[in-house]
Amino acid sequence: MTEPNPAAAPLLTDHPCEGVVRLRLHRPEARNALNTALREALADAFDKLDRDDRVRCVLLCGSDRVFAAGADMKEIASLGAAGVSRLGVLRTWKAIAGFSKPLIAVVGGPALGGGCELALHADIILAGRSAMFGQPEVTVGIMPGGGATQRLMRAVGKYQAMRLMLTGLAVSADEAFAMGMVSEVVDDAALDARALELARLIASRPSMALRLLKEAALAGADAPLSTGLLLERRAFELLFDTADQKEGMQAFADRRPAVFNGR
């Protein structure tokens, strides 16, 4: 059931199945370009979803033909450095980067500039065959400012990331998959169904295990190996105090499906 949204709302929300929330970028007149209103709507949505214990997985989608075409040039083209700083973009990105639950970006059509950076915040990127990924900022006299110089480098390595950022050229879904940027590529007609299938599966898993797994993986990625391994082990140990761990292992012994309740 779709929640009420004004027709002009830049972000639409619905609940396609239990434990799953779908956020859909909704600026069709601007190819889902990221302006302040859309960024604020995303930040507010992720803040609320993080606090909602009923939510176990989030799908972040664009429209049928475009994920997000980048930053809204009409909003920023005439600004100076101080004006750009006052937009508060780092705060809105932080709300997504700090989201503690599984996040799947569902990308059909172009995901360029800020749109590509938005997808890079996800834990899984599911792409339709029409998807295109790129960082074209250099072609308009600027550089990535939403995390690509860091997240893209970590995702695909220096040489592929620098090729994309220095040339401004885009790559196809299949090329992005080959370089390790995309988790899976499916036909466009199957994109929404496959996304929901993945989200439903993840939402059926124990929520505390999902949260601690993501926390350890992301925190450990920026730490020495020894620190990352310690974070992993401590999180692993904590899960033995959860009801879901007892249920999961008992279900395994009983050869039946586990029923997790998030405790």
Residue type at 19 in one-letter notation: G
The number of angstroms, rounded, from the C-alpha of 262 to the middle of its chain's C-alpha atoms is: 22
**What is the DSSP-derived secondary structure letter of residue 211?**
H
DSSP string over 75-113: HHTT--HHHHHHT-HHHHHHHHHT--S-EEEEE-SEEET
Question: 117 and 138 in contact (C-beta within 8 Å)?
Answer: no
| b/e sequence 93-102, b meaning 16+ C-beta within 10 Å | bebbeebbbb
Phi and psi based region of residue 147 (left: phi greater than 0; alpha: psi -120 to 50; beta: remaining): left
* Rounded distance between C-alpha atoms, residue 54 and residue 198, angstroms: 17
Nearest to 1, CA basis, from 130, 154, 10, 13? 13
The residue type at 120: L
Q: How many CA atoms within 13 Å lie on the side-chain side of 63?
A: 14
Catalytic residues, by residue number, are 71, 114, 117, 137
